[in-house]
Amino acid sequence: GAVVSQHPSWVICKSGTSVKIECRSLDFQATTMFWYRQFPKQSLMLMATSNEGSKATYEQGVEKDKFLINHASLTLSTLTVTSAHPEDSSFYICSARPPGLAAPTDTQYFGPGTRLTVL
Amino acid sequence: KNQVEQSPQSLIILEGKNCTLQCNYTVSPFSNLRWYKQDTGRGPVSLTIMTFSENTKSNGRYTATLDADTKQSSLHITASQLSDSASYICVVRGSNDYKLSFGAGTTVTVRA
């Protein structure tokens, strides 16, 4: 099955620093990747949709200058949390959608997540 | 606004017992509904996916049902095991775009 990896699995950083999280599709090319944030005991919240070679589309309320997304290749998307603050501490999950699958059976494959703790 | 509501919020069952989780949605037009299992500190893993024409789908001890007319789905876990302890998330995709509507999840705790 399709595998999506994330690196790092967890990171602790000081307030004001920037943190980069990588999302890779290991056995398929993903033209579209998605970034989610999940707070404790809550469900996933879509932050942005990342399309290879173009600018990401951010959901309402998500600061694009704070959460920088780069999707430079068909297998890699990165999320950079700039000038991180304690309120950015969360579980960040990416997903990737294999090309060639159309509705209604298309699906997204999720990465294992990255736990960010900002001190 | 498309919504997905799950119940109960959490439940505790004894190992070997069965349980059923509920999902109601308002997403329209509807494309498909998926159930995911999310272990603590991990990403969601797909259990089942159903389109509007499918009424039931099984994956081992997991059986999902779908009533597209009433916009309801259920996930039945048979002969629960300790490893079934996780959050189960109902996710609905509309047919207009690729965005997914997530339920808040049901946390299942299986005790020996």
> What pLDDT, in 10s, does the model give residues A73-114?
889 999 999 999 999 999 999 999 877 655 455 678 899 999
Q: Is B90 part of the contact surface with chain A (CB cutoff 8 Å)? A: no
Strands ordered across the beta sheet of A4-7: A4-7, A19-25, A76-81, A67-73
CA of A17 to nearest chain B CA: how many angstroms apart?
Answer: 23
Rounded CA-CA distance B109/A53 in Å is 43
Structure tokens, A90? 């969360």
Whether A29 has a pLDDT exceeding 70, the answer reads: yes
Rounded CA-CA distance B67/A47 in Å is 30
- Residue A105 and residue B51 in contact, taking contact as beta carbons nearer than 8 Å: yes
Inter-chain touch B45–A110, beta carbons under 8 Å: yes
Whether B25 has a pLDDT exceeding 60, the answer reads: yes
- Residue A62 and residue A48 in contact, taking contact as beta carbons nearer than 8 Å: yes
Q: Which chain B residue has its CA at the smallest distance from A116's CA?
A: B41
Q: Which chain B residue has its CA at the smallest distance from A97's CA?
A: B98
Query: Which A residues 24-53 touch B at CB under 8 Å?
Result: 32, 41-46, 49
Sort out which chain B residues have CB atoms less than 8 A from A60's CB and list them: none
pLDDT in tens, B41-55: 889 999 999 998 899
Rounded CA-CA distance A107/A115 in Å is 24
Whether A54 has a pLDDT exceeding 80, the answer reads: yes
- Residue B60 and residue B70 in contact, taking contact as beta carbons nearer than 8 Å: no
Q: Helix, strand, coil: what percent of chain A each, to 5?
A: 5, 50, 50
Mean predicted lDDT score pLDDT of chain B? 93
Q: Is the peptide bond before A8 cis (omega within 30 degrees of 0)?
A: yes
Rounded CA-CA distance B66/B2 in Å is 17
pLDDT in tens, B77-110: 999 999 999 999 999 988 877 678 899 999 999 9
Rounded CA-CA distance A22/A26 in Å is 12
Q: Is A60 part of the contact surface with chain B (CB cutoff 8 Å)? A: no
Rounded CA-CA distance A66/A80 in Å is 8
pLDDT in tens, A10-24: 999 999 999 999 999
Rounded CA-CA distance B52/B4 in Å is 16
